[in-house]
Amino acid sequence: MKNYIIAIVLSFLVFSGGVDVLTMLFVIVSAALFPFSALVWDELMNLMMGGNFIILPLPIMLVWKLFKLLLLFLFAFIIAPVGIAYIAIRNKYA
């Protein structure tokens, strides 16, 4: 649910300026696929970190989170099919 809210906020930020139809279509598709790309990122970090976490100063962490969210949103159409396949495989064998 949190990822859909983030996708809606990012979409509103893009739509606040004048955009053409192609950009609007890209943003809508990215907003729909963003939660699946975030799932891939979260699962990869969980796999690599193994439950450990890194403590950073707040300004650095906020910049990193914003950068990560923007990259996941921009490349959602590439990353999200992996997340959808992961969900399908995981639910098939559950």
Tell me the angle at which helices 2-15 and 21-49 cross, rounded to the nearest 10 degrees: 150
Total-model pTM:
0.84
Residues 58, 54: Cα–Cα separation, whole Å: 12
Question: For 62-90, how does the pLDDT look when each residue is reduced to its tens digit (9 = 90+)?
Answer: 999 999 999 999 999 999 999 999 999 98
For the chain, domain boundaries: 2-92
Q: What confidence tens digit (pLDDT) does each residue in 22-55 have? A: 888 898 899 999 999 999 999 999 999 988 888 9
Show Cβ contacts of residue 74 under 8 Å, excluding neighbours closer than 6 positions. 30
